[in-house]
Amino acid sequence: MDKLEQRVKELNKLLYDYGYAYYTLDTPLVSDAVYDQYLNELIALEEQHPSLVLPDSPTQRVGASVSEGFQKVTHTTPMLSLSNAFSEEDLLDFDRRIRGMIDETPTYVCELKIDGLAVSLLYEDGILVRGATRGDGTTGEDITTNIKTIRVVPLRLKDNVTLEARGEVYMSKASFQKLNEERAEREEELAANPRNAAAGSLRQLDSKIAASRNLSMFVYGMGDSEVQNIDAHSEALNYFSVQGLPTNKETRVCSSMEEVIAFVQEWTAKRTDLPYEIDGIVIKVDEYAQQEELGFTAKSPRFAIAYKFPAEEVVTTIIGIDLTIGRTGVITPTAILEPAQVAGSTVQRASLHNEDLIREKDIRIGDRVIIRKAGDIIPEVVGVILEERKGTEIPYEMPTNCPACDSELVRIEEEVALRCVNPTCPAQIQEGIYHFASRNAMNIEGLGEKVVEQLFREQLVKDISDLYKLTVDDLVKLERMGLKSATNLVEAIESSKTNSMERVLFGLGIRHIGEKAAKILSETYHHFDALMLANKEELIQIFEIGEKMADSIITYFEQEEAVQLIERLKEVGLALQYTGKIVDAATLENGLFAGKTVVLTGKLTQLTRQEAKEQIEALGGKVAGSVSKKTDLVIAGEEAGSKLEKATSLGIETWDEQKLLDQLAE
């Protein structure tokens, strides 16, 4: 190794150690002048000898332009959102559910819920190779160049390990204030809150802008990883710290829900003292074996919950009441408000939910009211300040006819909502088209509410099948729709034709058929033609499909309009078939691993871990990440550690990789 190469490596090591001490440990080892001296020396050497630039060089943090838009990234394991708790009673209910589903007493980990943007960091052999946004949980965007500008994010871990770390990127209160001061000087619109500012910074195509925003990050969870012998979430957090990843020190392991509630109360009082924004507390079951046992719903893990702080309340005036018509015909009243600042953003509308709530709270136009954001997200009217009434306020009466189509509104038995039941109601059709194009349905990028409104107004679409007849020439006539946007939208619509059946089924907006039910039905029937012929008896035999769902499916496909719509979708080229993995029910029931929980540990040499997992699941097994009393079998590769030891101590059957291959061959 020549002297230049040796010096470059020395400088990289020095700057890494100094940067980690300064940005992560907050204990500077040298002055800024010394750090800058070494950094400038490294920059000069790299400019003279580009071949000596290391992938984790601190000079890679300065930022550069992204030539085109961000590339899509598919998360190997979905980044699911958490279900919410809003009271101590909700937390006690969560604890009761957990205790009812597992045999052993749970230990919980409490963490501050950072108000930022969820991201994934992928390290291969210890080097940061990718940073990605959470996106819709399944697909995010590659923001590696912007992630590298965040000083607390190490470009190299202490060990040469391959792992995915998940966490929250945020902007501190001080950085947010500085950003808005600079924007005010330039007479630019101020950022609404630190979270939006952080999210906007990460999506800058010029990462020099992201670098100037002084973002930070806390890591809170492990994604896919080759790291062995980590059996609990608290152990993973400690491991992250050892590797140089930033974790939040305000984390506590609690042995009871009473301790959890004490932690929640403590930080509810102290939240404003922090240098960054938090909007709640995340509570997770600590042991991975118990997490595996508890599992997931379609949208969130059962082993974790997010307690949301009580919402900030402010006073404003109702200046009007609007009605919106949902895709199922539900009429929802919305209060139009004098603009008010709530939880960092301007609020001008708030939900009134239904007619009964308006009567119960005696809400009138002109009333001074208290509003808040439920869970710091959805604005709602809490109540009226009766003492401020002047006598000029106007009581509100819900209409008897639909404001969009003039059909008589009805109230279905046991429902509080008024509904328009006219299937040709233009407002419902419009909402239905918007839902069909939404991210979790057909995911047609660029087809937002405003575009749908224009398409409908210009009579370019009457139902969802008309979307597939749109041309660039049609679209460029719309307001604020240039040639490039029109071309991109037509391409996005065309691309959606190949979407799997469950996306189309969810997109139709059939009552009671959510994403999970759509996936189950698609896995069972494989094509719309088969589903349309299904009867109630066979539908309710499907696991997790209840009577309400079955009735909705039967009722929907009994309508001639629905049958004709499916035919039109076929005519315009939609595949309408399930393109996901088809699992044979008989194999699942009678396969080699039917009903068994299997744990993979150690290094496999002839199969990848993913290949082994897929083959086990295809033969009826469930692959878990930790060994517990409920584990039936452990497959131990080379260098298997504590999981193999635990399996042996519990008397659990173990195979080596060769036995697995032999059994699969048979």
248 secondary structure, DSSP code: -
Distance CA 458, CA 296 (A): 44
In angstroms, the Cα distances linking 136 to 56, 441, 572 are 29, 11, 27
Q: Where are the beta strands (DSSP E) in 38-107?
A: 72-74, 84-85
Signed CA dihedral, 596, 598, 604, 609: sign only: positive
**CB burial readout 162-191, b (16+ within 10 A) else e:** bbbbbbbbbbbeebbeebbeeeeeeeeeeb
Distance CA 41, CA 540 (A): 71
Distance CA 512, CA 548 (A): 7
In angstroms, the Cα distances linking 204 to 115, 128, 178, 352, 592 are 19, 20, 18, 37, 50
Query: Residue 646 catalytic?
Result: no
Indicate left, alpha or beta for 133 from its phi (over 0: left) and psi (-120 to 50: alpha). Answer: beta
Distance CA 126, CA 161 (A): 5
What residues pair up with 166 in beta bridges, in sequence order? 120, 221
Q: With beta carbons less than 8 A apart as the criterion, state whether 626 and 288 touch.
A: yes
Residues 384, 389, 392, CA angle at the centre, nearest 5°?
120
Distance CA 458, CA 478 (A): 9
Tokens read off for 488: 């991109």
Which amino acid would we find at residue 618? A
Signed CA dihedral, 350, 354, 360, 362: sign only: positive
Distance CA 223, CA 234 (A): 14
In angstroms, the Cα distances linking 563 to 486, 529, 554, 558, 568 are 30, 10, 12, 8, 9
Strands of the 108-114 sheet, one edge to the other: 84-85, 304-308, 278-285, 108-114, 252-254
The phi, psi pair for 427, rounded to 5°, reads -65, -40
User: Considering 3, 13, 113, 548, which one is annotated as catalytic?
Assistant: 113
Tokens read off for 239: 């491991």
Q: Where are the beta strands (DSSP E) in 154-243?
A: 163-170, 216-225
Q: With beta carbons less than 8 A apart as the criterion, state whether 264 and 252 touch.
A: no
Residue in 529, 356, 325, 355 with CA at minimum distance from that of residue 422: 325
CA 68 to chain centre: 24
Distance CA 56, CA 38 (A): 16
Helix, strand counts (H, E) of the chain: 25, 23
Give SS3 for 300.
coil
What residues pair up with 307 in beta bridges, in sequence order? 85, 281
Active site members: 113
